Amino acid sequence: MNVSSVPPDSEGQPSRSARHRNTSSGREAEAAHLVDLMTLCSRGHEDAFAELYDLTSQRIHGIILRVLRSPDHAAEVTQEVYVEVWRQAARYSPDKGSVIAWMTTMAHRRAVDRVRSVSSEMARDERYAFHGGDREIDQVWDGVEQRLDIERVRKGMASLTAIQREALTLAYFGGYTQSQVAQLLKLPLGTVKTRIRDGLIGLRDALGVEA
Amino acid sequence: MSEIHGAVGSYVVNALDPDELEEFEAHLAVCPTCSREVVEFCETAAKLSLLASVPPPPTALRESVLAAISEIRPLPPEPPAEPALAESTAPGTVAVPAESGRPVDELALRRQRRRTRILSVLVAAVVAAAIALGGVVYTLVQTRQAQVAQQAAETELLTAPDVQTYSATMKDGGQISFVVSRSLNRALFIGKDLPAVGSDRTYQLWTLEGERPIPDNLVAGGGDRKQFFRETLSGVTSLAVSVEAAGGAPQPTPSTIQTVTQLSS
C-alpha cells in the first residue's frame, strides 16, 4: 500500500471539495438520494427505479449517444445499461464511487463495446450530427447547478494542454482505443497513454474530487 | 512509477487494447493505488460525460426500460467479502477499497459481461417494449437468433414517437398485431402462435392503398413470427393478411383473407 495515496483527510472526504462547498451541498444530497434509490432498487422497488431513470437518463443516454452517434444503437444500449443497473443494484456499494459514476462507467463501457463490435460491419449512423459545439445543452438543462457543473467541466477541459484534451476527447467521446488515438494524433502510444492519464488528473484537480 | 500504472487513464476511458487490458486488470487486482485512481477517474469521467448531454431520450424508451425491468429479478447481493459497507461509508465519498487488494467490482462485472451475449437481452427488451406499447402479449422467444440489424430496426420502430399497435384476431383464430410508425414509414407484422397452414401454403402480407392491394412479404404458418413489411407506408390505408399457395400470389384470394386492418392516417 502506497501510503502517500491516502487522502490527507482521514474521513475520506476529499479535501478539495471544501472549495466548492456552496454548490456541493445540493450535489451531495442528490448523490445520497441516488444511493437510497439504488438500495430500494435492489429490493425490487420499481418506482424507485423509475425515479432513478428520470434523474439519470439524460446523462446516461447522452454519453452513449455521443459515443455511438446512432440513435438506434443508443436506445438499445441505454436500455441494456438500465436493465443491468436494475439487476446489479444490490452489487453497488458506495465504496465503488458515486451512483452516477458507477452508471456512467457502465454506460461508457457498453457504448464502447458496441462501437467496437459494430464498427467493422457498419459505418456509424451519422444522423446524429455532432458539430463539436454544445449549444443544445444550455437549452435543455434547467438545473442551475447542473449548468454550473457543465461550465466547470468546460473550464477544466480548457485548462488541459491541447494534446491532453484531444487524446482524452478521442478516447472518451470518440470511443477510440489508445492505439487508434496514437495513430490519429500521430504520436507514440506511450505518449498518448500518458496524456490521457494526465488529462484525467488535470480535469480531476480542476473539478475537485467531490463525488 | 512502473509502466503499468500509466495505463490507468486509458483503462477508465476504455481505451486499452485487449492484451493490455488483461494485463492491467491483473495488476489492478493487487494495486490499491491504481484501484483508488480508477475510482477517482471514474468520478471525473462521469463529470466529463456532462458535456455529452443532449435532450432527454425518447419517452418510449422510458416505457420500454420500465417494462423490461419489471420482468427481471434483481440479483441478490454478493456474499459479504468484507463487513457491511453501506452503513459505514458516507455516500459518494471516495474510499480506498481496503488493503485486501480485492478488485473493484467493475472487473467481475466486466468479465461476466464478456461471457454474456447481449442478444437475448435485446430480444427481451424489444418484446417487453411491444408489450408496453401494444398491450398484446408477444412471447417471441423463438426468434432469439434474429440478426442484430433486425433487432435495431425493431427497437427503432418500437421506440418511434408515433408508434401504434393494431391487434387483430384472424379468421383462422391466429392472434396478430401490426406495429406501425408513420414517421419511419414502416410496419412490422407480429403473429403469436400462428396456426399451421400446411407446407404448400403460406401467410402473405398486403398493403392496401384504398382498394388496391400490393403483395408484400410471406410469413410461414405455425409458431411465433415477426416480419417487417417490405413496402413503405406512403399512401397505405390498410394492412392485410391472407393465406396463399406457397410462393405467394399477385392478388389476394378473397376467401382466404384473414384480416384487413385500417390504419389511422
Report domain extents, chain B: 1-53, 120-262
Asked whether residue A4 is assigned to any structural domain, the reply reads no
Residues of B in contact with A34 (CB under 8 A): 91
For chain B, what's the residue count?
Answer: 265
**Structural domain span for residue A182:** 143-211
Are the beta carbons of B136 and B192 closer than 8 angstroms? yes
Cβ of B92 within 8 Å of Cβ of A32? The answer is yes
Q: Which of A130, A164, A186 is the last residue of a domain?
A: A130
Instruction: For residue A136, give the C-alpha cell.
Output: 443544445
Are the beta carbons of A167 and A177 closer than 8 angstroms? no
Same-domain check for residues A197 and A170: yes
Same-domain check for residues A60 and A120: yes
Are the beta carbons of A28 and A18 closer than 8 angstroms? no
Interface test with B, best of A40, A76, A121, A195 (most B CBs within 10 A): A76
pLDDT recorded at residue A25: 67
Cβ of B90 within 8 Å of Cβ of A12? The answer is yes
pLDDT recorded at residue B156: 76
Q: Which of A70, A102, A130 is the last residue of a domain?
A: A130
Phi-psi region of B232 (alpha: psi -120 to 50; beta: other; left: phi over 0): beta
Q: What mean pLDDT value characterizes chain B?
A: 76
Mean pLDDT by 10 residues, chain A (211 residues): 41 40 67 94 94 93 91 91 94 90 95 80 40 38 65 91 93 93 93 96 82 38
Cβ of B125 within 8 Å of Cβ of A76? The answer is yes
Type and span of the H or E element at B167: strand B164-169
CA distance A60 to A111: 10
Same-domain check for residues A108 and A180: no
pLDDT recorded at residue A21: 43
CA distance B232 to B100: 60
Q: Tell me: pLDDT of B101 over 60.
A: no
CA distance B240 to B255: 13
Same-domain check for residues A187 and A108: no
Lowest mean pLDDT among B35-44, B81-90, B157-166, B246-255: B81-90
Same-domain check for residues A27 and A72: yes
Same-domain check for residues A74 and A171: no
Cβ of A78 within 8 Å of Cβ of B61? The answer is yes
pLDDT recorded at residue A56: 93
Instruction: For residue B230, give the C-alpha cell.
Output: 417490405
Same-domain check for residues A109 and A190: no
Q: Is B48 helix (H, G, I), strand (E, B) or coil?
A: helix
Are the beta carbons of A66 and B52 closer than 8 angstroms? yes
Q: Which of A76, A109, A130 is the last residue of a domain?
A: A130
Rg (CA), chain B: 26
Fold of the domain built from segment(s) B1-53: Arc Repressor Mutant, subunit A (1.10.10)
Same-domain check for residues A29 and A65: yes
Strongest mean pLDDT among A129-143, B73-87, B130-144, B159-173: B159-173
pLDDT recorded at residue B75: 85
Same-domain check for residues A22 and A118: yes
pLDDT tens-digit profile of B199-223? 889 999 999 988 889 999 999 888 8
pTM, rounded to two decimals: 0.54
The dihedral built from the CA positions of residue B66, A52, B72 and A119, taken in this order, carries a sign that is positive
Residues of A in contact with B41 (CB under 8 A): 200, 204
Per-residue pLDDT band for B67 (boundaries 50, 70, 90) equals: confident
Same-domain check for residues A110 and A152: no
Same-domain check for residues A49 and A95: yes
Interface test with A, best of B5, B20, B41, B48 (most A CBs within 10 A): B48
Query: How many domains in chain A?
Result: 2
Instruction: For residue B153, give the C-alpha cell.
Output: 430496426
Same-domain check for residues A58 and A121: yes
